[in-house]
Amino acid sequence: MLQHRANISGVILAGGKSARMGTDKALLKVGPYTLIETIAGVFRTLVDEILVVTGRPEKFARYGDKAVRDILPGHGPLGGIHAGLVQAVHSRVLVAACDMPFISAPLARFMIELPGDYDVVVPRYRGYAEPLCAIYGKGCIEVIEQRLTRGQNKITGFYEQVRVRYVEEEEMFQVEPHLERVFLNLNTPGDLKKARSLGGWY
């Protein structure tokens, strides 16, 4: 069945060091697929184009339509979001970290289809923004660039300068009952063990 895909690009961030995990997180398996395969599989149903933003494009090219490098390297995930936004075909990008095994297609679709004109659409769960599972518009590029060049790498740091739509828990629960694991990201071997014990992935 052909699924509706919006005019939006997908950006998978895979340029981290995985130092705490001790091995490349994107290629770890939780369930039958590696993390990057899982995220790319979900993105395929939602977006027109998938960019993997990584320091090693040759290793990751096959997981997306394109693998691209950070334009301003050494700034962490915000540098990856910036590179994805600049190099995406579409004016909006759906961003996910490569270490989120339970990313939710229904929630992402809900965010994509929200009416209104925003620069950022970001879930807020248990009082905190989830900036690595969010939508960013090209209108953010300039302000991100300014911050990165000043060494201000905190992702949510630029939110007060743009139009942000927070997606609240009560809205999210309507489309995704398993919020407690949707935003789980894996940093350590202990996190990996926990995720594997949860099971129930797609």
Ligand X SMILES: Nc1nc2c(ncn2[C@@H]2O[C@H](COP(=O)(O)OP(=O)(O)OP(=O)(O)O)[C@@H](O)[C@H]2O)c(=O)[nH]1
Distance of alpha carbon 160 from alpha carbon 168, whole angstroms:
18
Residue number of the CB atom closest to ligand X: 16
User: Is the Cβ of residue 4 or residue 33 nearer to ligand X in the bound state?
Assistant: 33
Residues in contact with ligand X, shown as a per-residue x/- string from 101 to 140 under the rule CB under 6 A: -------------------------------x--------
User: Is the Cβ of residue 177 or residue 189 nearer to ligand X in the bound state?
Assistant: 189
Q: What are phi and psi of 90, to 5 degrees?
A: -90, 165
Assess contact for 192 and 186: CB atoms under 8 A: yes
Tell me which of 10, 15, 101, 137 binds ligand X, using CB under 6 A.
Answer: 15
Q: Residue 101: which H helix or E strand, with range? A: none
Look up residue 1 and give its amino acid. Answer: M
CB of 178 to ligand X, least distance (A): 21
Q: 91, 97, 129, 126: which is closest to 112 by C-alpha? A: 91
Distance of alpha carbon 95 from alpha carbon 136, whole angstroms:
7
Tell me which of 9, 34, 46, 99 binds ligand X, using CB under 6 A.
Answer: 99
Q: 135, 133, 71: which is closest to 100 by C-alpha? A: 133
Tell me which of 97, 120, 192, 195 binds ligand X, using CB under 6 A.
Answer: 97
CB of 174 to ligand X, least distance (A): 27
Annotated binding site: 13-15, 25, 70, 99
